[in-house]
Chain A
Amino acid sequence: MNTNNLKPEIEMLKQESAPEHLKAQIVQAILDENKSKKMNKLKVLGLGLPAIALGIIAFGAAMAPKTALADPISQVRNAFEAAQNYHMTTYQIEGGQRKRVSESWVENGERTTYTVNEDGTLTQLDDLFIVVQDNVNGQMIKLAPVEIAKGEKAHTEIRETAVVGIKLAPAQISTDGQPPAPKNIQGKPFKVVEDNSLNVKIVEGSAIELIIMPFVDAEMNIESLQKLLEDKSLWDIESNQTINGRLANRYKLKETYMDFTVYVDPKTKLPILTRQILTDDKGKSTTTEVEYEYDGSIPPVVAEKAKPALIAPGKAVETKK
């Protein structure tokens, strides 16, 4: 079979042409982009990730060529402020089974995250990651760990490190399909830990583009959520939903490639549950839920910070104040 039979139809398909306004629009967009890049080079941002953050929350708006969401990146950055005391439990839902994967405690802005091991014990996480995408071949690469303190404040530092690292990276272009090795501010190469196929966003850069995960952690802090919820244009809102037996307002994020919903206590306005559903290229969905508790939960303390410790839940030897 050849396509001779279809030639007239194929010819018709070839007749499609761009609308008249498109050229001017594109040229203007390129020139504007260039202008804004010069004005604000620090626009390039990245966020660190706890090593557990396979359930990353990545809001996809920045992928949209037109600004569908009003600068969600800076919204989130601005929202990263000292958190209140609270406790987050992250669950992965697979095949209807809800599996607890991590626990985090936030005290005065300091967050301590633990993965839940198979035996129910907890392992503290210190490592933060940067994810970049090779602009040439599209590979996503998780870089790190970078020596940095844990906690939300670390995100800012790691971003700036990443920006500089990325700016030094053009010479590291991958042309052979192998992951490139961008360098950090000191010129030391990051260690390439593993490829990363998560849905994340690209910002800008030359050879290697930093990927933005604006609201990244599956365990988003309360201030970030609250700040986001203030922008009503981002959300479809349904009041008075019942979630886990409690009355809640439901905020569902618009215009994103992932399904992301925040359930908020209508009285306190505090988030009580977030649910994100990420679907990969093969149609496989991963659901992550995060429950927020405001009961003054006290985190366990790891005796030796340098070494990840195993602590049975509820059996911490020491407790923080």
Chain B
Amino acid sequence: MEAELLEKLKIKDADAITNWVEQHQNDLYRLLRHLTRHNETAEDLTQQTFIRAIKAIHNFQGKCTMRTWLHRIAFREYAAWRRKHRILAPLNPEWGKPDKAISEIDTNEGIINALHRLHPAHREAFLLHEVQELTIEEIAEVTGDSIGTIKSRLHHAREKLKRELATTFPQVIHEH
């Protein structure tokens, strides 16, 4: 199925492109949105990822899945963006106010904020593994780092998140 899609993408078949984008856009957008914390930037980078991918589609050799390959391109787009924009703007400038009631959404923002207090490399590993559900090997493929490095980063990310969320949202940790 993927081979057939690939052939159609190579000839820029509009229907195939539409299906391909539909299949992967949520995945990539989610990653980029969590990494950048900026909706428009995530949209831009998602779009740019697909454009880069379609240009390089002839180079896709099937050594990894299309999904991993797209993640790798998306990650590079993000890395380039990060170089340009060192200050990450929070989605909601109101976050972190101590007297705010903890709703589900707030808790969600809480973990996002906690994620963004992590070292970038730890955050990236965490998001790729826990949210994008890539394997350690796939993350290594995406980021170009060694498996040992990824494991180490995941460990540090989890430890730090545990500490962060225990402070900010103690019930989150204790209730589960």
Contacts and interface: CB of A to CB of B under 8 A. Distances in A.
Contact of B59 (A34, A63, A206, A256): A206
B59 A4 contact: no
Interface stretch (A7-15, A46-54, A264-272, A303-311): A7-15
A5 B162 contact: yes
Contact size class for A? 35 or more
Interface string B75-115: 01000110111100000000000000000100110111000
Interface stretch (A19-27, A294-302, A312-320): A19-27
Contacts of A27: 14, 17-18, 21
B47 A65 contact: yes
B47 A22 contact: yes
A64 interface: yes
Contacts of A26: 21, 25, 46-47, 50-51
Contacts of B21: 23, 26-27, 30
B107 A9 contact: yes
Contacts of B158: 1-3
Nearest to B61: A175
A18 interface: yes
Contact of A29 (B51, B110, B131): B51
Given A9-B111, A257-B84, A281-B83, A23 B47 contact: no
A33 B43 CA distance: 17
A253 interface: no
B88 to A, nearest CB: 14
Contacts of A281: 83
Interface in B16-38: 17-18, 21-22, 25-26, 28-30, 33-34
Interface residues of B, number: 54
Contact of A206 (B14, B50, B56, B161): B56
A6 B110 CA distance: 11
Nearest to A136: B59
What does DSSP make chain B's interface, helix, strand, loop or mixed? Answer: helix
B70 interface: no
Q: Which of A30, A66, A206, A256 has the most CB of B within 10 A?
A: A30
A16 B30 contact: yes
B44 interface: yes
Contacts of B22: 23
B4 interface: no
Interface string A168-196: 00100101000000000000000000000
Interface string A92-131: 0000000000000000000000000000000000000000
Contacts of A16: 26, 29-30, 33-34
Nearest to A4: B176
Nearest to A135: B56
A31 B56 contact: no
Given A27-B17, A27-B21, A257-B84, A22 B108 contact: no
A274 interface: no
Contacts of B84: 60, 63, 256-257
Contact of B130 (A10, A22, A135, A280): A10
Contacts of A199: 83
A83 to B, nearest CB: 30
A17 B51 contact: no
Contacts of A66: 44
A279 interface: yes
A121 to B, nearest CB: 36
Q: Which of B39, B161, B165 has the most CB of A within 10 A?
A: B161
A176 to B, nearest CB: 12
B68 interface: no
A207 B59 CA distance: 7
A18 B47 CA distance: 11
10 contacts: A3-B158, A5-B165, A10-B111, A10-B131, A13-B127, A18-B46, A19-B43, A26-B46, A31-B14, A257-B85
Given A25-B43, A27-B17, A135-B59, 5 more contacts: A16-B33, A34-B54, A63-B80, A199-B83, A257-B83
* 5 cross-chain pairs, A with B, having the tightest CB-CB distances, nearest first: A257-B84, A18-B29, A65-B48, A16-B30, A9-B111
